[in-house]
Structure 1
Amino acid sequence: MRKYFSTGLNWLWIALLVVLIDRYAKYWAVHNLTLTEPLPIFSVFNLTLAYNKGAAFSFLHNASGWQNLFLGSLAAIVSLFILGWLWTLSARERWTNIALCLVLGGAIGNAWDRILYGYVIDFFDFHLGDWHFAIFNTADSAICVGAAMLLWHWLRSPDRGSH
């Protein structure tokens, strides 16, 4: 047990928090929004319920169903990889641990949807006039923030080119 608290696994509460926020937000969206009907919040932002059977930007959305198994398996593999990575990190490496836990929580949140429904529940809809960015959710946001944090950390690392 002592080893657990000295590793990056000590930060798993962040992944759990991401999953809980994601589950609540998706529950709220399903019970308070009408499918594909925008609820304007700001001039450039709507809440619009959408079901995404594909990956980012609806890639593979029209595939015959194999994409859920593929994307769910990919999420499981990435999650196991992240857990292994967290095990090797010191709990003191806050930035990397937080970033990995954001990605892990987002991957679990979207995989949960795929397992339960066969699609991912999306609802954040940013737009400029008639041009709309891909509709996404809180899990997607956590994955993007975590990935950006990892990239930022890697770019700032003084030894990144020495290997």
Structure 2
Amino acid sequence: MKQPFNSNRRWWLWWLLALGFVALDQILKQTTVATLPLHAGIGITPWFNWVHVLNPGAAFSFLADAGGWQRYVLGIIGLVVSATLLVALYRGLDSRSVTLSYVSIIGGAMGNVVDRVFRGAVVDYLDFYWKQWHWPAFNLADMLLVGGTMLLIYSTWSVSKTETERQNRTDG
């Protein structure tokens, strides 16, 4: 008989996957730093540039002009969130999708924490636009954070809906 999923059984594997996400993010950032001068960009398609910009703030450069304290606060938040999610993975989650969302959030948060600690700002390199509409530059860590959060929201809604349906069947 197949055992139900529990993230604790392969906790080390999930930790390695998160570490792999951090490593890939850092490789892409280091490649950008080594290849492109700061504020330079290369047009790849009519709607995408590879750029090299630094973001000392949070998403969309929120708090970028806050005077420097945000580097430490955002770094501490990233560490606390990552540690909390790692403990939850170790204690055991019974959902593969929630586990993957936690791993993605950890990888993204720690990828940006590494930048804040060693560079003082986050390296962004993905620049998408369409005609006059321009999305702020971002990076793989940001994609992992957003994707992991969206998966977590979907998983929570999906599990909640499944539990409600199961409860309705037993009540009716």
Taking structure 2 as the reference length, what is the TM-score of the superposition? Answer: 0.84
Residue pairs, 1:11-160, within 5 angstroms: 11-90=14-93, 93-157=95-159, 158=161, 159=163
Identity of aligned residues (%): 32
Q: Distance in 2 between matches of 1:30 and 1:56?
A: 20
Q: Distance in 1 between matches of 2:102 and 2:145?
A: 9
Structure with greater helix share of residues: 2
Aligned length: 159
- Does the residue aligned with 2:116 lie in a helix, a strand or coil? helix
The CA deviation at 1:131 is 2.4
Q: Distance in 2 between matches of 1:37 and 1:7?
A: 42
Which one has a bigger Cα radius of gyration? 2
The CA deviation at 1:93 is 2.8
Whether the 8 Å CA contact 2:7–2:89 is kept in 1: the answer is: no
Residues 47-94 of structure 1, C-alpha deviations (whole Å, 9 max, x = no match): 11100000000000011110011101101110111112112224x632
Runs of 4+ in 1 over 4 A off after TM superposition: none
Whether the 8 Å CA contact 1:57–1:134 is kept in 2: the answer is: yes
Taking structure 1 as the reference length, what is the TM-score of the superposition? Answer: 0.89
Q: Distance in 2 between matches of 1:144 and 1:95?
A: 14
- C-alpha root-mean-square deviation of aligned residues, in Å? 2.1
Which deviates more, 24-33 or 4-13?
A: 4-13
Instruction: Give the partner amino acid of 1:145.
Output: G
